[in-house]
Amino acid sequence: MVKQKTNKKIMENNILESIRKQLFEINNLSSDDRYFYLSQYVGSVLNDILKLIKLADNKEKKQIYKSRYDGLYLTLDKEVWSAKNAFNKAKKKNARPIRINEYNTILKNAIQQINFELSSLMSNDDYH
């Protein structure tokens, strides 16, 4: 029983480390990138959080993970897809500079919202 809990803790820490790495990649995204990767990273983080929900051994942890999942999913639906649409407009041939500036702002806002949604998950010492 103790070994199983230890294995779960190791798996949980590995998943959290994976989320940290993806968050680092998200923060390094630039409006100059040729392709829009933000939605793929967020989808991957959502899958990792689902794994954490399945691994959670008490209701408190499950609730924390579920609330982070719900918040990040809403961010995907709102800010990330807005950034994707702005990206598509900005990358069109002969796009006006205002659209490119608009995309920069929307992308920054989406990344800030993702950081906000994951900050409690990444900063909680109980889960490291």
Task: Give the Cα separation of 119 and 60 in Å (integer).
Answer: 17
Give the percent of the chain with pLDDT over 70: 92
The answer to whether 39 touches 76, Cβ cutoff 8 Å, is: yes
Helix, strand, coil fractions of the chain, as percent rounded to 5: 85, 0, 15
Nearest to 20 by CA among 59, 52, 60: 52
Instruction: Spell out the domains of the chain, with CATH numbers in brackets.
Output: 2-127 (1.20.120)
* 57-81 pLDDT per residue, tens: 889 999 999 999 999 999 999 999 9
Task: Give the Cα separation of 32 and 14 in Å (integer).
Answer: 31
Query: Does residue 114 have a pLDDT over 60?
Result: yes
State pTM to two decimals. Answer: 0.88
| DSSP code of residue 33 | -
Task: Give the Cα separation of 82 and 98 in Å (integer).
Answer: 16
